[in-house]
C-alpha cells in the first residue's frame, strides 16, 4: 500500500492528464451546448430527468418554482416593488374609469329627463 502512495506522489502524470481532460471536457460541453444538437440533447435529458422525478418521486431532482427569488434577492425586491406600484396604478385607473362612467351616466339621465 505504501509503495502505491509513493509511486503516485512521484509519478504526477495522472494529475496533468486529469486537469487536461477536465479542461477539454468543459470546452467541448461549452461548444456543444450552443449547437442545435446540444440543445436538443439537453432538452431530452431534462425531460427524462423530469420523468424520473415524477415517476419515482425523486424530489432531489425537482427545483422549487421560486428558486430564482432566493438566488436573486435584489431583483426579487425590485420586482415586488414594481408589481405593487403597478397594482396601485391599475386600481387608480379603474377607480377613475368608474367615476367617469358614473358621471357620464348622471349627465345622460339629466339630459334624458
Q: What is the pLDDT of residues 5-43, one digit of tens each?
A: 777 777 778 888 899 999 999 999 889 888 999 899 989
Domain ranges in the chain are 1-62, 64-113
**What is the spatial distance between Cα 50 and Cα 36, in angstroms, rounded to a whole number?**
21
3-state helix, strand, coil in the chain (%, to 5): 85, 0, 15
Which residues, 6+ apart, have CB-to-CB distance to 48 below 8 Å? none
**What is the spatial distance between Cα 95 and Cα 89, in angstroms, rounded to a whole number?**
10
pTM higher than 0.75, yes or no? Answer: no
Q: Which three cell numbers stand for residue 51?
A: 420523468
Amino acid at each position: 500500500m505504501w509503495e502505491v502512495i509513493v509511486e503516485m506522489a512521484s509519478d504526477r502524470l495522472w494529475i496533468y492528464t486529469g486537469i487536461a481532460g477536465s479542461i477539454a471536457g468543459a470546452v467541448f460541453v461549452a461548444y456543444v451546448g450552443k449547437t442545435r444538437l446540444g440543445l436538443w440533447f439537453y432538452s431530452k435529458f431534462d425531460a427524462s430527468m423530469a420523468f424520473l422525478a415524477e415517476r419515482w418521486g425523486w424530489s432531489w431532482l425537482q427545483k422549487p418554482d421560486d428558486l430564482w427569488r432566493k438566488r436573486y434577492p435584489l431583483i426579487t425586491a425590485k420586482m415586488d416593488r414594481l408589481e405593487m406600484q403597478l397594482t396601485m396604478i391599475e386600481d387608480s385607473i379603474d377607480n377613475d374609469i368608474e367615476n367617469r362612467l358614473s358621471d357620464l351616466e348622471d349627465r345622460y339621465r339629466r339630459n334624458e329627463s
